[in-house]
């Protein structure tokens, strides 16, 4: 048992070193952990209908949390124009009273997302839940679409080719991945056909798939309270109730429940453009202009060198 525990510790330390602040556990893993580590002796007796031992990583009673009173939901933001497939923003997931720190709240949320029957019962999403990465102290939250193959493997958003480009963008802003928070509007990789022979193929999540995860994203934003949200691509924007093409939405801040949100091109689109016309510099420049607005909004300095990135002068 101790070697399994050591391995688990090592695995978690490696994740922490990569900036992962919380992990999701499958139901089976939760059961195993409960068996390995009994609840502390000081814990008050558990009611009969609840498990006798608690998971060390999270408070035991997900059901109880679900029954906790909902925090007052902020009024939904009216989108700039009517939505063709309207997304009405639901109340954030209830925040557990047992979770004291934002890290604990996010860890708890990740656990709820893992056990998200609403998403799982759709049958159109793959099994592995990929939650988020970064710091709960982030001033900037990036919201993408859904995990891809690499993300499923690593259980971390934006680690594949698009993720590597996103990391470069974040670094160009003078930040590290660990300085921001990166999440997806859909926490599961959408299946293509029955998902068995999908390989590296991905598709955008449907409105229903996004809605099945929406309460978690709203709760993440509620916990982190960033200064700015960046929606990567129109799918993420739609999932946050902002409808329109990136071409029309980008370049200015919109309002997301009192927080400025910038919609910009998804890194995958930049990669596709790179393939198509051997550069995609013009689109990279547009994204960079959006990111400079984000930097300005959070008070990050912008050097002349940074201002010139992807400008025509650089070719």
Contact residues: ligand URA, CB under 6 A: 144-148, 151, 157-158, 160, 162-163, 184, 268
8 A C-beta contact, residue 33 and residue 80: no
Residues contacting 109, CB < 8 A, separation 6+: 93, 131, 216, 219, 220, 223
Q: What are the Cα distances from residue 133, in Å, to 1, 9, 163, 247?
A: 29, 18, 12, 28
Look at strands 228-232 and 140-144 and give their pairing.
parallel
Cβ at position 177, least distance to ligand URA in Å: 12
Tell me phi and psi for residue 232, to 5 degrees: -90, 100
3-class SS shares of the chain: helix, strand, coil, % to 5: 45, 10, 45
Under 8 Å between Cβ of 307 and 292:
yes
Closest CA to 238 of 182, 293, 292, 185: 185
Instruction: Kindly state the smallest distance separating residue 303's Cβ from ligand URA, in Å.
Output: 29
Instruction: In angstroms, give the least distance from the CB of 165 to ligand URA.
Output: 10
Which residue of the chain is nearest ligand URA when measured via CB?
144
Residue with tokens 């009192």: 258
CB of 158 to ligand URA, least distance (A): 4
Shortest distance, position 202 Cβ to ligand URA, whole Å: 8
- Determine the Cα–Cα distance for residues 127 and 115; give it in Å rounded to an integer: 11
Cβ nearer to ligand URA, comparing 231 with 286: 231
Residue number, 147 or 260, with CB nearest to ligand URA: 147
DSSP letter, residue 140: E
98 versus 150: smaller Cβ distance to ligand URA: 150
> Minimal CA–CA distance to 143: which of 158, 125, 128?
158
- Nearest distance from C-beta of residue 221 to ligand URA, angstroms: 16
Whose Cβ is closer to ligand URA: residue 163's or residue 260's? 163
Smaller CB separation from ligand URA, 53 or 230: 230
CA distance 143 to 132: 9
Contacts of 47 (CB under 8 A, 6+ apart): none
163 phi/psi in degrees, rounded to 5: -65, -40
Cβ proximity to ligand URA: between 189 and 254 the closer is 189
Nearer to ligand URA, 21 or 184 (CB): 184
Q: CB nearer to ligand URA: give 163 or 241.
A: 163
Q: Tell me how far, at minimum, the Cβ of 162 lies from ligand URA, in Å.
A: 4
Residue count of the chain: 315
The distance of closest approach from Cβ of residue 213 to ligand URA in the complex, given in angstroms and rounded to an integer, is: 12
């Amino acid at each position: 048992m101790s070697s399994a525990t050591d391995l688990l510790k090592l695995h978690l330390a490696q994740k922490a070193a990569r900036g992962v602040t919380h992990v999701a556990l499958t139901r089976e893993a939760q059961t195993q952990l409960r068996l390995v580590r009994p609840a502390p002796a000081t814990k008050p007796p558990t009611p009969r209908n609840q498990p006798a031992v608690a998971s060390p990583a999270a408070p035991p009673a997900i059901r109880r949390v679900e029954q906790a009173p909902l925090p007052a939901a902020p009024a939904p933001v009216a989108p700039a124009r009517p939505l063709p497939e309207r997304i009405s923003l639901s109340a954030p997931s209830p925040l557990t009273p047992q979770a004291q720190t934002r890290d604990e709240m996010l860890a708890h949320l990740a656990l709820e997302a893992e056990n998200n029957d609403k998403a799982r019962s759709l049958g159109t999403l793959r099994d592995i839940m990929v939650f988020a990465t970064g710091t709960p102290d982030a001033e900037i939250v990036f919201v993408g679409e859904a995990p891809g193959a690499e993300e499923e493997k690593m259980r971390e958003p934006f680690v594949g080719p698009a993720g590597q480009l996103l990391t470069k963008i974040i670094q160009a802003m003078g930040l590290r991945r660990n300085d921001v928070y990166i999440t997806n509007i859909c926490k599961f990789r959408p299946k293509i056909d029955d998902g068995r022979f999908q390989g590296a193929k991905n598709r955008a999540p449907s409105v229903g798939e996004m809605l099945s995860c929406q309460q978690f994203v709203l709760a993440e934003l509620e916990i982190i309270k960033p200064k700015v949200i960046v929606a990567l691509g129109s799918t993420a924007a739609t999932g946050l109730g902002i409808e329109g093409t990136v071409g029309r939405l980008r370049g200015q801040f919109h309002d997301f429940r009192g927080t400025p949100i910038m919609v910009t091109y998804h890194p995958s689109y930049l990669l596709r453009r790179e393939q198509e016309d051997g550069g995609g510099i013009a689109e990279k420049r547009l994204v960079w202009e959006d990111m400079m607005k984000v930097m300005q909004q959070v008070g990050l300095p912008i050097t002349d060198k940074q201002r010139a990135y992807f400008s025509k002068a650089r070719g």
